[in-house]
Amino acid sequence: MVRVKICGITNIDDALAAVDYGADALGFVFFKGSPRFISPEKAASIIKVLPPFIHAVGVFVDESPAEIGKLISATGVNLVQLHGEEPPESCRMPWRVIKAIRVKSLDSLAPLVQFKKYVSAFLLDAYSPDKLGGTGMLFNWDIAVEAKRFGRIILAGGLTPDNVIEAVKYVRPYGVDVSSGVELAKGKKDLGKMKLFIERAKGA
C-alpha cells in the first residue's frame, strides 16, 4: 500500500486529523520563505503529541547540517527532506534523508545517480521558476516511472483527491505527498479533501 505524507502542517488540528484519516507522515516546513513555514517551537508542540509510528518530516532548503541537527533536537523531527540546491555530499547525514527533485524534463533525473547512495528516497515535485514547492503543478508522470530505477520515489506536484488514484495506479510510487492539493488556504488544510485524498491514495 502506498504511503501518504501530508506536507505543510502548521497547526495541531490539521496534524491530528491527518493522522486519524490514515496519513503515514507529516511534513513541517522550516524554510522561512515558505507561506507554510512553522517555527521550531510550534512544530515541537505538535510532534510531541503525535501517536507512535507517525513520521515527522522536517523540510529544509539549503540549510547547514549543523542547523538541521539543532532543529531535529529541538523539534523531534525524525526524517529530513532537502528541498533546495544541496549537492549530493551534503546528504551524507546521520539521519534518513529524502531529496526533493524539481522535475522539468527527463534531464532532471541526471543528478539522481550521484544522490542515490546517500538518500532513503527521492521526492519528485513539479519545477517552477519562482517556487520551491507547493506549486499545485503536475509534471509528466512518465518521468516519475523512469525515476524508480534510482530508488524509492515519493510522488508530489499537483496531486489532489481527483487525480491521486490515477497517479498511484500509473506510477506505483513508494509514497505520495500533498500540500496545496488539500488546502483551504496556504497552511490550513481542508479536512474533507485531506480525508478523501488519503482514502483514495491508499485504496488505489
The torsion region of residue 62 among left (phi > 0), alpha (psi -120 to 50) and beta comes to left
User: The C-alpha cell of 133 is what?
Assistant: 514547492
Category of 52 on φ-ψ map: left (φ > 0), alpha (ψ -120 to 50) or beta: beta
125 is catalytic: yes
pLDDT at 81: 98
Residues lower than pLDDT 50 in the chain: none
pLDDT for res 7: 97
pLDDT of residue 137: 79
Domain boundaries, the chain: 3-203
pTM comes to 0.95
pLDDT of residue 127: 77
Catalytic residue among 14, 24, 125, 177: 125
User: What tens digit of pLDDT does each residue of 53-107 get?
Assistant: 999 999 999 999 999 999 999 999 999 999 999 999 999 999 999 999 999 999 9
Residue 102: per-residue pLDDT: 93
Q: Does domain 3-203 have CATH number 3.20.20.70?
A: yes
Please pick, among 7, 24, 91, 177, the residue that the annotation labels catalytic. Answer: 7
> In this predicted structure, what is the pLDDT of residue 157?
92
Q: Catalytic annotation on 7?
A: yes
In this structure, the dihedral spanned by the alpha carbons of residues 9, 13, 14 and 20, taken in order and rounded to 10 degrees, is: 130
